[in-house]
Amino acid sequence: MCGIVGYVGHRQAQDVIMDGLKRLEYRGYDSAGIVVTGDPELDVVKRAGKLSVLSDVLKTTPLKGNLGLGHTRWATHGKPNDVNAHPHLSEDSKLAVIHNGIIENYLPLKERLVEAGHVFLSETDTEVLVHLIEENYEGDLYAAVQKSLSEVTGAYALVVSHADHDLIVAARNTSPMVLGIGDGENFVASDVPALLPYTKEVIFLHDGDLVLITNDGVTISDFAGNVIDREVSTVEWDAEAAEKGGFEHYMLKEMYEQPAVIQQTLGGRLAGNGMDVQLDIGLDPNSIDRVIIAAAGTASYAGMVGEYLIEKLARLPVEVEVASEFRYRDPVVDERTLCIVVSQSGETIDTLEALREAKRGGAKTLGIINSKGSTITREVDDTIYIHAGPEIGVASTKAYMTMLAAFELLGIWLGRARGTLADADAKELIAALRQTPKLIEEALKNRDEVAKIAEQFKNYKDYLFLGRGINFPSALEGALKLKEISYIHAEAYATGEMKHGPIALIDDQMPVVAIATASPLYEKTVSNIQEVKARDGIVIAIANDGDTEIEKHADYVLRVPETHELISPLVNVIPLQMLAYETANRLELDVDQPRNLAKSVTVE
């Protein structure tokens, strides 16, 4: 959500910034802008729309200079137009500000600044920062930013430059930001991929960090000015891992990476005895008697699969909470509660605040996270990294897959430690887990069959997804994927719940995707499918290879290999992801950057 790139060094800032913003496109945005410190003034270009619109302008009028800031904006306050795009400049055109987040007290600040004679041009909350810093500026940019922040409440990753100084000042409160450390050059960005072509040495900023960046170095202090020593981390990803690698879209590439990345999640964590799991976490499994899983969107559906697994394998009661609700409803939490937060980015504000709420109640905390060094990983007691690598497509695929794998590991680990999972059951499950990469690969081979369904139903307005037991979350995830990237209305229900309402929707204009893979409830699922057929519904069943019975009931069958029921969500999600992808692609929609969505949701 919003992208920031700042550069000071020996290269042309415009090149570094435009390249970096391109690498951050996945975060979601609807306008973009750049400012470069020229001579004697700042040169700025801002445009609504995609980066290509901005690039076209820069081709004819390039901005020359070695210090600059760039921004992709995801609109919160004010429409996505040229004026509201960042950077925002002071009235004398000497000071430039870009900002991610929301300034909560911008209205009283604006009123005061307008009274003092400042003229506002945009509808954004960000613009108050420019006028405030301008008012506090007496020749020292760092001091002006520091003074201004004492008056501001809200969430921000803020980056400021001034025509009279060869330096950048940055500040972080809640919204993520990372420094890139180079040789005679330094960088600041909202996420690591922007930095990868230039440096792998990074410093993840913490809340309350104020930074002075020059080409020689970076100095981090708290808002009171006390210098802080922050660790430099080396990023393991390379720039290539974040590229499309010959695939038409990141989403497609990431779907095909799933057999490999799940091996990274499992790798080294399955013990040699074939029935235990090794997790490098300090949690005492017998010190808890309840689990809360808090997450958003796809990560929350991974959490629902986790609920089934932990309850079944470890006999601990689990509740899954939508993070944005949990934080505001005074939840009952104590020191015998384990709060698990699940997040690809590790920066989702709702999930982060849910974590903080659980901590206030005394809960033990565990993160299931992809991004190393992210804010959530710094605030939890322990983290199980999912090792999915960079996920660029806005619609999550491989992160979901590896979150599921992490929950499989955690469920087994808890079950073994608490004595609720017998040797033979653990062996069976782990043996099946080891087979999963191969089965996912098999499922991915059925792309053509899924593509035919996508072609046939791409112009339908509504879809229904049904699943039960551990595959109810799979149905929710299938519906979410389709909604997100194809903009087709889709709903998901627990299959047995259909007769309590949604069945009224069934007609020959409503394709129903029914998950009917091997399970003790298979027969009941088939009965539910018959109920749909009896009402002229169109049934697309997700069924196991070799299941001939299903052909008698469903209009279309998408095949997946059979596995242990508790592992089936990892395999069953493949045709669901593929259906969404193939549908959106046929509708010629922007698969990797669907409208209105952002990859990392850092505002409430």
By the 8 A CB rule, do 295 and 393 touch? Answer: no
- Number of neighbours of residue 359 by Cβ within 10 angstroms: 16
Residue with smaller CB distance to ligand F6R, 403 or 498: 403
Q: Which two tokens stand for residue 342?
A: 């699940």
Nearer to ligand F6R among residue 345 and residue 517 (C-beta):
345
Residues with Cβ within 8 Å of residue 141, at least 6 apart in sequence: 95, 133, 160, 161, 162, 165, 167, 169
Q: Residues 250-289: x/- map of binding to ligand F6R (CB under 6 A)?
A: ----------------------------------------
Using rule CB under 6 A, residue 345 touches ligand F6R = yes
Write the CB contacts of 604 (distance below 8 Å, at least 6 apart in sequence): 102, 324, 349, 350, 353
Residue whose structure tokens are 């009235």: 91
Which residue in 161, 396, 474, 568 binds ligand F6R (CB under 6 A)? 396
Q: Which of 542, 539, 566, 564 is CA-nearest to residue 554?
A: 539
Is position 402 an interface residue for ligand F6R (rule: CB under 6 A)?
no
Instruction: Provide the residue type at 340 as one letter.
Output: I
Least Å from the CB of residue 525 to ligand F6R: 26
Q: Name the residue nearer to ligand F6R (CB basis): 198 or 581.
A: 581
Give the C-alpha separation, 88 to 52, whole Å: 20
The letter for the amino acid at 459 is N
517 binds ligand F6R (CB under 6 A): no
Say if CB 250 and CB 439 are below 8 A apart: no
Residue 157 has which token pair? Answer: 């990753």
Q: How many residues bind ligand F6R (CB under 6 A)?
A: 15
Shortest distance (Å) from residue 299 CB to ligand F6R: 4
Window contacting ligand F6R (CB under 6 A); options: 75-83, 267-275, 293-301, 457-465: 293-301
Whole-number minimum distance, CB 600 to ligand F6R, in Å? 6
Helices (H) and strands (E) in the chain, counts: 17, 24
| Least Å from the CB of residue 1 to ligand F6R | 9
Complex with ligand F6R: residue 345 or 486, whichever CB lies closer: 345
Written as one string, the DSSP assignment of 588-602 is T--SSS-TT--SS--
Q: Tell me the one-letter amino acid at 379.
A: E
492 sits near ligand F6R (criterion: CB under 6 A): no
Q: Kindly state whether residue 175 participates in binding ligand F6R, applying the rule CB under 6 A.
A: no
Phi, psi at 570, each rounded to 5°: -70, -30
- Nearest-CA neighbor of 603 among 119, 66, 74? 74
CB atoms within 10 A of CB 451: 17
Residue 486 binds ligand F6R, judged by CB under 6 A: no
Q: Is the dihedral of CA 496, 499, 502, 503 positive or negative?
A: positive
Residue from 190, 351, 519, 583 touching ligand F6R (CB under 6 A): that is 351
Confirm or reject binding of residue 591 to ligand F6R (CB under 6 A).
Answer: no
C-alpha 99/C-alpha 72 separation (Å) is: 10
297 contributes a contact to ligand F6R by CB under 6 A: yes
Cβ atoms of residues 105 and 129 within 8 Å = no
Q: With residue 462 as reference, give the H or E element that holds it.
A: strand 462-467
Q: What is the 3-state secondary structure (H, E, C) of 366-432?
A: EEEECCCCCHHHHHCCEEEECCCCCCCCCCCCHHHHHHHHHHHHHHHHHHHHHCCCCHHHHHHHHHH
Q: How far is the CB of 591 from ligand F6R (least distance, A)?
A: 12
Nearer to ligand F6R, 343 or 563 (CB): 343
Contact window for ligand F6R (CB under 6 A) among 66-74, 205-213, 339-347, 451-459: 339-347
**Residue 348 interacts with ligand F6R (CB under 6 A)?**
yes
- Residue of closest CB approach to ligand F6R: 297
The answer to whether 601 contacts ligand F6R (rule: CB under 6 A) is: yes
Q: Judged by CB, which is closer to ligand F6R: 47, or 481?
A: 481
Active site members: 2, 599
Select the residue interacting with ligand F6R from 30, 484, 582, 592 (CB under 6 A).
484
Rounded to the nearest whole angstrom, what is the least distance from the CB of residue 480 to ligand F6R in the complex?
Answer: 6
Which range in 45-53, 329-337, 345-353, 356-364 contacts ligand F6R by CB under 6 A?
A: 345-353
> Please, which residue, 47 or 398, has the CB nearer to ligand F6R?
398
* β-strand partners of 158: 99, 171
Residue span 430-459 as binding mask against ligand F6R, x where in contact by CB under 6 A, dash where not = ------------------------------
Instruction: Considering the complex, state which of residue 127 and residue 592 has its C-beta at the smaller distance from ligand F6R.
Output: 592
299 forms part of the interface with ligand F6R (CB under 6 A): yes
Binder of ligand F6R out of 42, 252, 395, 479 (CB under 6 A): 395
- Distances, alpha carbon 373 to alpha carbons 69, 190, 365, 378, in Å: 23, 13, 16, 7
Residue 37 as a binder of ligand F6R (CB under 6 A): the answer is: no
- Minimum distance from residue 487 beta carbon to ligand F6R (Å): 14
Q: Which is nearer to ligand F6R, 97 or 341 (CB)?
A: 341
Coil vs helix vs strand at 72 = strand
> Quick one: which segment of 39-47, 340-348, 492-500, 546-554 binds ligand F6R (CB under 6 A)?
340-348
Q: Which of 144, 296, 514, 526 lies at the binding interface for ligand F6R (CB under 6 A)? A: 296
Q: With the C-alpha atoms ordered 465, 585, 2, 82, is the resulting torsion angle positive or negative?
A: negative
> Binding to ligand F6R by residue 324, rule CB under 6 A?
no
Please report, as ranges, the residues that interact with ligand F6R according to CB under 6 A.
Answer: 296-299, 343-345, 348, 351, 395-396, 480, 484, 600-601
